[in-house]
Amino acid sequence: MEKCKRLEGKVAIVTASTQGIGFGIAERLGLEGASVVISSRKQQNVDVAAEKLRAKGIEVLAVVCHVSNAQQRKNLIDKTVQKYGKIDVVVSNAAANPSTEAILQTQETVLDKLWEINVKASILLLKDAAPHLQKDSSVIIISSITGYNPQAPLAMYAVTKTALFGLTKALAAEMAPNTRVNCVAPGFVPTNFAAFLTTDDALRQEIEGKTLLGRLGTTEDMAAAAAFLASDDASYITGETIVVSGGVPSRL
């Protein structure tokens, strides 16, 4: 399908974008005309992902960035501005899920890591990016359907995703009127991050049964929502969360 070119001339940073949902978003933004800045923790991963995107005619800058490392976050922003002179879109996608333990059994170091990567890193990245954001820029925070109903075994991870709904509202007010801040809450998408969906047939079928559309999500589904929020088609939308879950219950 030929993509519309809503993002011509835009510069978009996508964190944790060498595979899964992050890569899907980077690819879609690039196909719509944006110059995309991809990042993840390993040089080899960013190099491979950049080649895949360039093969599709997408303008790419690839930077190693562990989002909880202050120097690497600053470097991601600096390299982007050095090359393109501005930032129009930031997609904060990085997340960690180091534990499936009950919340009250989770070690403090694990709680710290969850908070640091899933919530705090988004704030600190935007702090670095904010001076370079253009008028009519767009910030997109990637949360999760689990944020609406935090349950075992992903309960603490889900609570950090709940926090992102609040962060979206708060930043939308703080960054208005020049920058819109919205959130995407993906449903269940079989990626490496959610490998349990592809390896456990019974669980997969159970989750598919909970969707109204009878299937798991794809990275393309999530990328389409992000591309809409990044574009001028969403120019009057801010502080909102778009749930992309195939109808898995989230809220009224």
Alpha-carbon separation of residue 188 from 14, 162, 180, 196, 218 (angstroms): 20, 16, 26, 10, 8
Any bridge partners for residue 61, and if so which? 37
Q: Is 84 annotated in the active site?
A: no
Pair 106, 99: CB distance under 8 Å: yes
Q: What are the residues whose beta carbons fall under 8 Å from the beta carbon of 244, sequence distance 6 or more?
A: 184, 185, 186, 187, 217, 221, 222, 225
How many CA atoms are closer than 13 Å to the CA of 44, on its beta-carbon side? 0
Phi, psi for 85 (deg, rounded to 5): 80, 0
**Which of 84, 148, 157, 236 is flagged as catalytic?**
157
The whole-angstrom separation of Cα 40 and Cα 23 is: 10
Strands 35-40 and 60-64: parallel
* Active-site residue list: 157
